[in-house]
């Protein structure tokens, strides 16, 4: 798995018996995202699909919305004293005529793997206006199809099988087919990687799709879904009150506690025939 995982020796205790063994851990390293050479954000992430992460982050912040608005993404050499490449600094080039990020997007502090909003200059920057409205997306999904998505997502989590320590985000069609899966120590990073994949494949807006996440549904994940034009967000755990409020405001279907044959539908039940 390369830099996606790391091996460490641990002391394991089971029923009073002590043994030493190697353990596989999910890697976590900082990634600095620059736009046109100017620092924009630092996020703690699991290395892998970094270009997708950077592209998805810029979609989520309203900077870009089409593949043609990107000119290049590259790793920056010279990130160390000796001029080496750590593969932890990315520079994104925007196409001619694409405005640079608004100053409100700039993050004053680093983004942790658990909190995508840490260091946000203002909440207004998160409530960016999407280029597409999900309110009028005519997607309908059978409840029986929705209930298959957590198991499909879990089965595709290859790195989680080795570490037990990664979130996942998966993009599904209305008939339950998995289009893209990404794993990361940060659930917001996993979603950005999915959205970035879609942008670079020129698939935005993601009308008629379902975004499934392995953790809880936060305000930021609802915002990211809306910014990518995704009409349905499903999570295996609980949403926050602000997530439900934003989903209702934007016309997004929000599902929580999706486990087995049960779920809570917080907003947009019409897409499930409710």
Mind spelling out the 3-state secondary structure of 131-169? CCCCCCCCCCCCHHHHCCHHHHHHHCCHHHHHHCCCEEE
User: Is residue 178 situated within a structural domain?
Assistant: yes
Domain match, 120 and 166 both? no
CATH of residue 84's domain is 3.10.20.10
Domain match, 159 and 250 both? yes
Characterise 209 by phi-psi region: left (phi > 0), alpha (psi -120 to 50), beta (else).
beta
User: What average pLDDT does the segment 201-208 reach?
Assistant: 97
Domain match, 84 and 175 both? no
Give the pLDDT score at 175. Answer: 97
Domain match, 107 and 156 both? no
Of the pLDDT bands very low, low, confident and very high (cuts 50, 70, 90), residue 4 is: confident
Characterise 138 by phi-psi region: left (phi > 0), alpha (psi -120 to 50), beta (else).
alpha
Give the pLDDT score at 109. Answer: 42
Domain match, 112 and 166 both? no
Model pTM score: 0.88
Domain match, 182 and 91 both? no
User: Is residue 51 situated within a structural domain?
Assistant: yes
CATH of residue 151's domain is 3.40.140.10
Domain match, 200 and 268 both? yes
Of the pLDDT bands very low, low, confident and very high (cuts 50, 70, 90), residue 121 is: very low
Higher-pLDDT residue of 99 and 124 is: 99
User: Is residue 21 situated within a structural domain?
Assistant: no
Verify whether residue 115 is a known catalytic residue: yes
User: Is residue 2 situated within a structural domain?
Assistant: no
Residue with tokens 């390369």: 2
Token pair belonging to 125: 């920057």
Give the pLDDT score at 177. Answer: 98
Q: What are the tens digits of pLDDT across the range 134-182?
A: 999 999 999 999 999 999 998 877 765 566 668 899 999 999 999 999 9
* Domain-ending residue, one of 76, 94, 126: 126
User: Is residue 132 situated within a structural domain?
Assistant: no
User: What residues make up the domain containing 66?
Assistant: 29-126
* Domain-ending residue, one of 68, 99, 126: 126
Domain match, 66 and 149 both? no
Q: How many domains does the chain have?
A: 2
User: Is residue 9 situated within a structural domain?
Assistant: no
Give the pLDDT score at 7. Answer: 82
Domain match, 176 and 213 both? yes
Q: Which residues, 6+ apart, have CB-to-CB distance to 158 below 8 Å? A: 183
Domain match, 122 and 162 both? no
Domain match, 50 and 161 both? no
* Domain-ending residue, one of 101, 126, 151: 126
Q: What is the dihedral sign for C-alpha 246, 212, 105, 114?
A: positive
Of the pLDDT bands very low, low, confident and very high (cuts 50, 70, 90), residue 260 is: very high
How does DSSP classify residue 120?
B
- Of residues 76, 115, 118, 180, which has the active-site annotation? 115
The C-alpha atoms of residue 82 and residue 39 are separated, in whole angstroms, by: 20
Higher-pLDDT residue of 96 and 123 is: 96
Of the pLDDT bands very low, low, confident and very high (cuts 50, 70, 90), residue 83 is: low
Domain match, 150 and 121 both? no
């Amino acid at each position: 798995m390369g830099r996606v995982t790391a091996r460490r020796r641990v002391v394991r205790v089971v029923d009073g018996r002590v043994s030493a063994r190697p353990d596989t851990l999910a890697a976590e390293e900082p990634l600095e995202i620059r736009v046109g050479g100017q620092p924009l954000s630092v996020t703690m992430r699991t290395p892998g699909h970094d270009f997708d992460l950077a592209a998805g982050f810029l979609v989520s912040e309203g900077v870009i919305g089409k593949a043609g608005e990107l000119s290049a993404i590259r790793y920056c050499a010279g990130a160390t004293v000796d001029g080496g490449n750590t593969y932890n600094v990315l520079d994104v080039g925007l196409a001619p005529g694409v405005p640079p990020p608004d100053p409100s997007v700039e993050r004053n502090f680093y983004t942790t793997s658990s909190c995508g909003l840490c260091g946000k200059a203002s909440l207004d920057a998160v409530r960016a206006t999407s280029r597409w409205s999900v309110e009028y997306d005519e997607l309908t999904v059978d409840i029986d199809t929705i209930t298959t998505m957590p198991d499909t997502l879990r089965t595709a989590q290859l790195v989680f099988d080795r570490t037990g320590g990664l979130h996942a985000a998966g993009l599904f069609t209305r008939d339950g087919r998995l289009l893209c899966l990404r794993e990361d120590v940060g659930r917001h990073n996993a979603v950005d990687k999915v959205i970035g994949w879609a942008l670079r494949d020129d698939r935005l807006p993601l009308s008629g799709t379902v975004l499934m996440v392995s953790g809880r549904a936060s305000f930021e994940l609802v915002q990211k879904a809306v910014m990518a034009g995704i009409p349905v967000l499903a999570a295996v755990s609980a949403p926050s009150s602000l997530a439900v409020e934003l989903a209702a405001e934007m016309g997004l279907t929000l599902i929580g506690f999706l486990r087995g044959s049960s779920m809570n539908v917080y907003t947009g039940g019409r897409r499930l025939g409710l």
